[in-house]
Amino acid sequence: MINKFIDKNMMVIDVGNTNTVIAVINDKGIDKKWRLATLLNRTSDEYTIIFDSFLEGAFDRNDITNIIISSVVPSVVYELKNCIHNYFNISAKIIGTDIFPDIDILLDRPDEVGADRLVNSLAAFKLYGGNKIIVDFGTATTFDVVNDKGCYLGGVIAPGVLLSMDALDKATARLPRISISTPTKVIGDSTVSAMKSGVYWGYIGLMEGIVSKIKLEYGKDMDVIATGGLASLFNADTDQINIIDDDLTLKGIALTWNSKLSVFNR
């Protein structure tokens, strides 16, 4: 049964370092989803225009019952929250300030863990069970570990794919900027194909190596859940990924509001 908190429509907002994803969740699950660039200087009025554009023809602003924000960019939150208050007449809840994921964090400094990593871990446990490694191919590539009781054990943070590509572009005078894609072979026969091979196979090697080390240290069988825009791309050439859930973070934000939400488990 759908929880009373989303008897109409709940909006969840994931503010990442590169992109911000906005979704409306109701008894259909994730009903609508929009993506925009995360800009530090975007004003409340600009967010108003964005919400007008996104909701047009899909939802009336009065249809939205609750709004939950997860942000790893604190400077964005003030203008976004101010817009939400004026536009929807709703006081948005901020994860880590107003509400907290229902997950035990077995670290000395739990306050250091980003909201995105915690909501990913919560969603992974609630939807798929324990003993999981969550790999998020975002601005950073993160690896988070949840044990069989759903406790957060920690993880690994590595530079993301796009960050590495930016570094190649900016730090080398003669190497061109490239896009990420699946190379046709490992040995590149041009500068561009060599770079694409290095990025693609390099990150598969990084992912497989770290996952193997985590499993060895943990000492138990573990499933790997991958999320983020590049998860499906890398999945074609590795057998380490068991589950791909592109919407894991959005689901985790909703589950932070109500950890017994059943709309994703039908």
Active-site residue set: 116
**Phi and psi for 91 in degrees, rounded to 5?**
-90, 105
In a 13 Å sphere around the CA of 10, the CA atoms on its Cβ side amount to 27
d(CA 180, CA 195): 9
CA end-to-end span of the chain, whole Å?
10
Q: Reading across the β-sheet that carries 19-26, which strands appear in turn? A: 29-37, 19-26, 9-15, 64-71, 93-94
DSSP at 62: G
Q: Are 138 and 116 in contact (CB under 8 A)?
A: yes
